[in-house]
Amino acid sequence: MTLKEIAEMAGVSAATVSYVLNNTAPVSAETREKIEKIIKETGYRSNILAKSLRKNETRLIGILVEDITVWHTALIIDGINEIAEAKGYNTILYNLRLLSKIQSQFDHLADFQKDIDKAMDVMIGMQTEGIIYVGMHDRKIIPAIQEMGKPIVYCYCYAESENSCVRYSNEETVYQITKILIENGHKNFGVINGLEGSEPAALRFEGFKRALAEAGITLNPENTACGGWKYHGGFEAAKKMLQKNNFPSAIVAMNDEMAVGVYDAAKEVGLRIPEDVSITGFDNAEIIQHLSPRIMTAERPLQKMGHSAAEILLEHINGKIKEARNIILPCKIIKGDSVSFRK
């Protein structure tokens, strides 16, 4: 069913049907009703491809995600969708599926570039008015996306300085958590870092050190360990720390998965949480939802990052902003019951 056919059925010209459809010229009530009736009866829906082609405007934004199965991706997409829907934009999703490909393929880089090219064929070919790139890790993206004359916003990662990006605060969040521990009288700290070489791990550790430095507290090097983001890393590291006589009164784990390991280590060593040892995490992950006592952790503003990315992209598209924005959104601290007051 095409606009032309509707016009024929109504005995009017295609132009008139278009006027009715888009309210783009005055039409007599009589013809309008006749046309609207036919449209309803036939279930006609205008061909967006043709319309976009003709108008040279698609109101389409592309969402290019590295891997949709990584937990945060879906929430960011949801946030983007919310803004796009509100502003009358449609979205097209391209899922690079990096996770499964990295596992199964050998020469990552060449294949990655090939996939990006394919994605860009679709994104540009579909005439998207801009692109949001959602990373699977928070890191610097190699500039695999060549310039395309259309705005691009990076989310949960960043790239060249000319591109806007939206991230969450690692440093400040751990700084705040650590400060809360200090305010509760803790002086003897243990810390379990994330994977070596990971940027968020480094940033989170920075925040931790800043809070300690500000309070003039020194860290016993024996009480700092790398848990590699994993449960067992947290478990083993905490066990070592907690078996000592002067075990730390508070252990800051840089994510929840490691923090659960710390919980189990404390139980195994026979220490109570939070009476004997206070524990904090990061992420507000599914895994801690029924941990007892509830752990102090931080929730990443994932949906909000989607909102922000979409809003900035639309402002770029509409020419409201020209220069790149670098947005760092705060996390929400969740207090829990895993921190005790000392002295």
Partner DNA sequence: GTGAAAGCGCTAACAG
Partner DNA sequence: CTGTTAGCGCTTTCAC
Query: Applying CB under 7 A, which residues contact DNA?
Result: 2-4, 11-16, 18-19, 21-22, 24-32, 46-47, 50-51, 53-56
48 lies in the binding site for a copy of itself (CB under 8 A): yes
Residues 6+ apart with CB under 8 A from 213: none
Angle at 230 between CA 225 and CA 234, to 5 degrees: 40
Out of 2, 13, 37, 50, which residue is the one contacting a copy of itself (CB under 8 A)? 50
Out of 27, 124, 144, 271, which residue is the one contacting a copy of itself (CB under 8 A)? 124
127 lies in the binding site for a copy of itself (CB under 8 A): yes
Q: How far is the CB of 342 from a copy of itself (least distance, A)?
A: 28
166 vs 139: CA distance, rounded Å: 12
Please say which residue, 75 or 126, places its beta carbon nearer to DNA: 126
Out of 23, 30, 45, 103, which residue is the one contacting a copy of itself (CB under 8 A)? 45
Per-residue binding letters, 272-301, with a copy of itself (x by CB under 8 A): -------------xxx-xx-x---------
98 vs 109: CA distance, rounded Å: 11
Per-residue binding letters, 225-254, with a copy of itself (x by CB under 8 A): ------x-----------------------
151 vs 309: CA distance, rounded Å: 11
Token representation of residue 244: 């000592």
Token representation of residue 213: 């430095």
Q: Please give the C-alpha separations between residue 304 and each of 76, 79, 155, in angstroms, as whole numbers.
A: 8, 6, 11
Please say which residue, 13 or 113, places its beta carbon nearer to DNA: 13
Q: Answer whether 207's CB lies under 8 Å from 170's CB.
A: yes
Q: Nearest-CA neighbor of 157 among 133, 123, 130? A: 133
Indicate the pairing of strand 326-329 with strand 164-168: parallel
Token representation of residue 292: 């007892």
Q: What is the CA radius of gyration of the chain?
A: 27
89 lies in the binding site for a copy of itself (CB under 8 A): no
Q: How far is the CB of 76 from a copy of itself (least distance, A)?
A: 10
Residues interacting with a copy of itself, by CB under 8 A?
43, 45-53, 58, 63, 67-69, 73-75, 77-78, 81-82, 85, 90-95, 97, 100, 120-122, 124-127, 146, 148, 231, 257, 260-261, 264, 285-287, 289-290, 292
